């Protein structure tokens, strides 16, 4: 294995929702938002949130706050940006951001996100500095190590895509299917609906053997590899 391959894990892996390290000035902004804008503060759980979910007022509050960054010399890059359907934090390191949110407020916001996704989970059961990694850990503990989503023949492309993305997380612990960031994927309202309604089944023994081979060969790589994606997709080809 080439140690210079950027996919090789040579340090502690970053959170699935990590985008960039926050700066000290972000802390002040986060603290003020948590005090005054509870709906907008939902973004501090995962770093990205649907504009339809938080509403126009909270969306505008986040984007307008970028003006504060121009008061510094030199001016800082904005913290929040608007995408087609979401507001996204350009700098989001949950290890830093979460510490700026009071524990009771954090639990409330995280539990609201669990509820949005239709999951019977609690913030107190989160074992990782990453919301979705904690979510996957909880699902695996409940459904089993080899659990994957079950879909039927009437499912549309979006549902199948969501099932494959979730499968890559459950089996390989790797986000980024089709180059989509975890926070972007789960902020999608349709993804939330799919997760609410999904059932699970367990891999067959031959599939488990193939999974073990893939983990042995590619488990040390950060990025989701082609063979891993092909395997995940193959589980739904006959649906």
**Is pLDDT of 87 > 70?**
yes
Is the domain of 119 the same as that of 155? no
pLDDT value of position 169 = 97
Is the domain of 169 the same as that of 87? no
Is the domain of 52 the same as that of 94? yes
**Is pLDDT of 2 > 60?**
no
The residue among 125 and 136 whose pLDDT is bigger is 136
Is the domain of 168 the same as that of 112? no
| Measured distance CA(160)–CA(180) in Å, rounded | 15
Closest CA to 89 of 127, 60, 62: 62
Is the domain of 77 the same as that of 150? no
pTM score? 0.88
pLDDT in tens, 156-190: 888 899 999 999 999 999 999 999 999 999 999 99
Neighbours of 232 (CB within 10 A): 25
Q: Which domain holds residue 166?
A: 144-234
Is the domain of 112 the same as that of 163? no
Among the three residues 123, 152, 179, which one is the final residue of a domain in this structure?
123
Paired residues of 199 in beta bridges: 150
Whether residue 157 contacts residue 123, with contact meaning beta carbons closer than 8 Å, is answered with no
Is the domain of 148 the same as that of 114? no
| Measured distance CA(221)–CA(224) in Å, rounded | 8
**Is pLDDT of 66 > 90?**
no
pLDDT in tens, 133-146: 999 999 999 999 99
Is the domain of 153 the same as that of 225? yes
Domain membership flag for residue 86: yes
| Measured distance CA(199)–CA(190) in Å, rounded | 16
Domain membership flag for residue 189: yes
Is the domain of 98 the same as that of 153? no
- pLDDT-based confidence at 73, cuts 50/70/90? low
Domain count, the chain: 2
**Is pLDDT of 77 > 90?**
no
Is the domain of 115 the same as that of 41? yes
Domain membership flag for residue 212: yes
What whole-number percentage of the chain has pLDDT above 70? 90
Domain membership flag for residue 75: yes
User: What's the distance, CA 211 to chain centroid?
Assistant: 23
Length of the chain in residues, anyone?
A: 239
């Amino acid at each position: 294995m080439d140690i210079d391959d950027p996919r090789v894990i040579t340090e502690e892996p970053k959170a699935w929702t990590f985008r960039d390290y926050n700066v000290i000035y972000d802390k002040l902004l986060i603290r003020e938002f948590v005090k005054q804008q509870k709906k907008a503060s939902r973004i501090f759980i995962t770093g990205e949130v649907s504009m339809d979910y938080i509403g126009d007022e909270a969306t505008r509050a986040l984007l307008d706050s970028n003006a504060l960054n121009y008061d510094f010399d030199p001016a800082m890059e904005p913290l929040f940006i608007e995408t087609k359907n979401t507001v996204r934090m350009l700098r989001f390191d949950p290890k830093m951001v979460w510490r700026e949110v009071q524990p009771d407020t954090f639990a409330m916001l995280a539990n609201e996100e669990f509820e949005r996704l239709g999951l019977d989970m609690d913030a107190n059961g989160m074992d990782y500095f990453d919301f979705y990694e904690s979510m996957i850990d909880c699902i695996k503990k409940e459904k089993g190590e080899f659990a994957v989503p079950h879909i039927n023949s009437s499912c549309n492309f979006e549902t199948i895509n969501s099932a494959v993305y979730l499968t890559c997380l459950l089996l390989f612990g790797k986000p980024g299917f089709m180059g989509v960031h975890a926070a972007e994927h789960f902020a999608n309202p349709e993804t939330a609906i799919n997760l609410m309604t999904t059932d699970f089944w367990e891999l067959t023994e031959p599939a488990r053997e193939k999974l073990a081979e893939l983990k042995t060969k590619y488990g040390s790589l950060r990025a989701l590899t082609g063979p891993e994606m092909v395997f995940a997709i193959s589980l739904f080809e006959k649906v």
